[in-house]
Amino acid sequence: MTKAYTGVYLGKRLTECLRKYGIDNNILGIVCDNASNNGPMIMTLSTTLPNFRGATYHIMCFAHILNLVIKFS
C-alpha cells in the first residue's frame, strides 16, 4: 500500500491480489467493518470484478457492530 486508504484504492489493490492468486471469480462475499472507505471499495470491486455483485456481497462484521453498540451504550 503506497497511497491513502481510499475506497477506490483499496478496491483496485484487492482486485490485483485476487487476480494474482486466481481467485477473483470465486468471491462469495467480503466481510469488513463499517469504516467509511469500505462502501466505495465494494463499489469499486463491483466494477473491476465481473462476478462481484457489489452491496449484495458486502457482509458487515457483526462482532464489530456489537462492539460499537456496547461501547457507545
Residue 1: inside a domain:
no
Domain that holds residue 30: 7-71
Question: Dihedral of CA 14/18/19/20: which sign?
Answer: positive
Residue 61 falls inside a structural domain: yes
How many domains does one find in the chain?
Answer: 1
Helix (H, G, I), strand (E, B) or coil at 71: helix
The reply to whether 48 falls in a domain is yes
What pLDDT score was predicted for residue 3?
Answer: 84
Q: How far apart are CA 55 and CA 46, in angstroms?
A: 8
Residue 33 lies in a domain: yes
Give the model's pLDDT for residue 34: 82
Is 56 among the domain residues? Answer: yes
Intervals of the chain under pLDDT 50: none
* The pTM of the whole model exceeds 0.75: yes
